[in-house]
């Protein structure tokens, strides 16, 4: 016998959400007012079409991510879908978490498209900004063929890879050294101490190459500095070989060049208008966090953050923060405070975010001490009280044929390994896809750590009469109990459109997809001009 649907998931007339017109949303963006626009479809559909400042937060991920993404409970939150019915369900789940100002975008995605541009891909504001920087600053670049020839003939040259170390390790171009983008102005002079040394900055596509190269120019380096045009995509399309498994990276703190790097970073940040907070001002920002959304972000390397960081600051390495700010910050118009312990990285990162229209300041160890060593877990609401609706890994393993396992893990994780005979189902598609499961016996919901499965139980109960249990501790508990995962046989019930495959990551991308991505980036400046909501200003 199944339990009744929780009252907070049962729509009635009083639950009908407010609507926000697209014109009002766009007015708020232009005015710099706080608002969070959340696309509650899966990431695949989101990557095909969405408004400029929309943030991807799939329906099934709301409880797992929203408290960090949208930290203030009374900030205006707007959700939308493209007619699938997710938005109304999202409103109920977001309200249940305590958010008080939640509305639905009137007309959804198609309604918005009558008033504003819709964009493909992900992290669009950052990528569009990078293209605008190149167009205005005429950032110098080399084609793959030109860069290859220079790398092969010139000994006094360094190649600085501005991506995350994990991406660099997957593939890199010859002579590349991992220096993620937020580290470049801090460390480049140590790697190229002579002004006669040529510097090539590369990434996977275009944005981090452009921003990285321009960062070094803005920071006053006198060298010849070039972006690798179109990054490793351009390198691969030109027929050149990449290297795999490289580990060369610059982690030592600069010594001889530090004073110059700091002076130049201060000068550039002051020119752009980046504020430096004293203790009283930072305390005021914290006190106002109940009425003005505040994000405190540590822009140093993940290793430094893990060693120690200020209380209340999340790890957001500077290069990735500029490249993908919507992965940390869900509220456009919010206030940002960036921390480092050197005075260079936070200033250079903030200088870009300031030009992207953010209210951003920096703070140093004279104001906040990096005394915390515990890695802060993502903020989540308490798990639902499931009572007897749980099953342990040992119970499941004792009689696996009696249960049909439903795996809600993101599709790459499911493909990498899942409980034997588990079926991949997206929680957002329960109404359609639970009925496609074989048999009519009891179901066990699992997910990576069990949290998503626990939050999804009520939605499953609303659409099936089959007995339901949640695997306590999720698939991690199954592995911890010593049971094996299946990596060979997959049972895809829902389409695996929950994760967008980036054509600039990994080594197995089709040439057509890589070329289409470059072509798309090159037209972003024109589309940005058509949309007119960005508030970008390139200094």
Q: Give whole-number Cα distances, 451 to 337, 418, 445, in Å.
A: 30, 16, 10
Q: What is the CATH number of domain 7-122?
A: 3.40.250.10
pLDDT at position 510 = 87
Q: How far apart are CA 175 and CA 173, in angstroms?
A: 7
DSSP-based three-state secondary structure for 508? coil
Tell if the pTM clears 0.85, that is, is over it: yes
Closest CA to 294 of 36, 57, 70, 38: 70
The token pair at 22 is 């697209």
Tens digits of residue pLDDT in 262-320: 999 999 999 999 999 999 999 999 999 999 999 999 999 999 999 999 999 999 999 99
Q: Do 150 and 157 touch, CB atoms closer than 8 A?
A: yes
Separation of alpha carbons 211 and 160, rounded Å: 13
Task: Quote the CA–CA distance of 370 and 455 in Å, as a whole number.
Answer: 34
Q: For residue 503, what pLDDT is reported?
A: 81
**Top-level class of domain 274-363:** alpha beta
Q: Under DSSP, is residue 144 helix (H, G, I), strand (E, B) or coil? A: helix
Calculate the CA 510 to chain-centre distance: 23
pLDDT, one tens digit per residue, over 202-230 is 999 999 999 999 999 999 999 999 999 99
Residue 376: the pLDDT is 83
| CATH class of the structural domain 128-252 | alpha beta
Mean pLDDT of the chain: 95
518-528 pLDDT, tens per residue?
A: 999 999 999 99
Residue listed under structure tokens 């993502």: 378
Put the strands of the sheet holding 55-56 in their side by side order. Answer: 18-20, 102-105, 77-80, 36-39, 55-56
Domain 390-492 sits in which CATH superfamily? Rhodanese-like domain (3.40.250.10)
- Confidence grade of residue 6 (pLDDT, cut at 50, 70, 90): very low
Two structure tokens written together for 256: 């001889």
Q: Angle CA(104)–CA(119)–CA(331) in degrees, nearest 5?
A: 50
Q: How far is CA 480 from the centre of its chain?
A: 29
Which segments of 388-491 does DSSP mark as H helices, in order? 393-398, 411-416, 430-433, 451-461, 474-480
Work out the pLDDT band at 15, boundaries 50, 70, 90: low
CATH 3.40.250.10-classified regions of the chain: 7-122, 128-252, 274-363, 390-492
Answer yes or no: is pLDDT of 534 > 50.
yes
- Would you say 397 and 481 are in contact if contact means Cβ atoms under 8 Å apart? yes
């Amino acid at each position: 016998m199944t339990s009744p649907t929780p009252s907070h998931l049962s729509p009635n007339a009083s639950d009908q959400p407010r609507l926000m017109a697209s014109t009002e949303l766009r007015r708020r963006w232009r005015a710099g007012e706080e608002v969070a626009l959340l696309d509650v479809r899966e990431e695949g559909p989101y990557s095909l079409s969405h408004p400029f400042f929309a943030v991807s937060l799939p329906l099934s991920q709301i409880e797992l991510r929203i408290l960090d993404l949208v930290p203030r409970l009374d900030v205006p939150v707007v959700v939308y879908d493209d007619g699938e019915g997710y938005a109304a369900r999202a409103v109920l789940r977001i309200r249940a978490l305590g958010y008080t100002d939640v509305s639905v975008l009137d007309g959804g995605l198609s309604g918005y498209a009558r008033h504003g541009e819709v964009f493909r891909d992900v992290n669009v504001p950052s990528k569009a900004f990078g293209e605008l920087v190149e167009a205005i600053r005429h950032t110098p670049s080399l084609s793959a063929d030109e860069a290859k020839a220079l790398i092969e003939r010139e000994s006094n040259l360094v190649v600085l890879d501005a991506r995350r170390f994990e991406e660099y390790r997957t593939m890199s171009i010859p002579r590349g050294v991992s220096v993620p983008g937020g580290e470049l102005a801090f460390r480049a002079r140590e790697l190229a101490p002579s002004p006669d040394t040529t510097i090539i900055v590369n990434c996977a596509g275009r944005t981090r190459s452009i921003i990285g190269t321009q960062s070094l120019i803005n920071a006053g380096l006198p060298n010849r500095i070039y972006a690798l045009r179109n990054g490793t995509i351009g390198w691969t399309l030109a027929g050149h070989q990449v290297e795999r498994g490289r580990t060369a990276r610059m982690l030592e703190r600069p010594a001889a060049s530090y004073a110059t790097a700091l002076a130049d970073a201060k000068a550039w940040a002051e020119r752009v208008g980046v504020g430096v907070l004293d203790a009283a001002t930072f305390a005021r920002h914290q006190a106002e966090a109940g009425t003005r959304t505040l994000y405190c972000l540590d822009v140093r390397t993940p290793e430094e953050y893990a060693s120690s960081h200020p209380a209340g600051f999340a790890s957001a390495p500077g290069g990735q923060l500029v490249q993908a700010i919507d992965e940390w910050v869900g509220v456009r118009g919010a206030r940002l405070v960036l921390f480092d312990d050197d005075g260079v990285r936070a200033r250079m990162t903030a200088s870009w975010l300031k030009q992207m229209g953010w209210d951003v300041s920096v703070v140093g160890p004279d104001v906040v001490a990096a005394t915390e060593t515990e890695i802060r877990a993502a903020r989540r609401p308490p798990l639902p009280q499931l009572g007897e609706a749980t099953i342990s890994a040992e119970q499941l393993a004792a009689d696996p044929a009696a249960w049909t396992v439903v795996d809600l893990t993101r599709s790459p994780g499911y493909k990498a390994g899942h409980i034997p005979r588990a079926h991949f189902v997206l929680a957002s598609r329960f109404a359609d896809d639970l009925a496609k499961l074989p048999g009519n016996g009891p179901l066990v919901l699992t997910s990576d750590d069990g949290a998503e499965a626990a939050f999804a139980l009520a939605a499953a109960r609303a659409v099936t009469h089959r007995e339901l249990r949640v695997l306590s501790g999720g698939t991690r508990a199954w592995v911890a109990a010593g049971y094996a995962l299946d990596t060979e046989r997959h049972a895809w019930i829902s389409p695996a459109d929950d994760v967008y495959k980036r054509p600039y990551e990994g080594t197995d991308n089709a040439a057509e997809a890589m070329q289409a991505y470059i072509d798309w980036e090159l037209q972003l400046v024109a589309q940005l001009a058509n949309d007119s909501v960005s508030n970008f200003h390139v200094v």
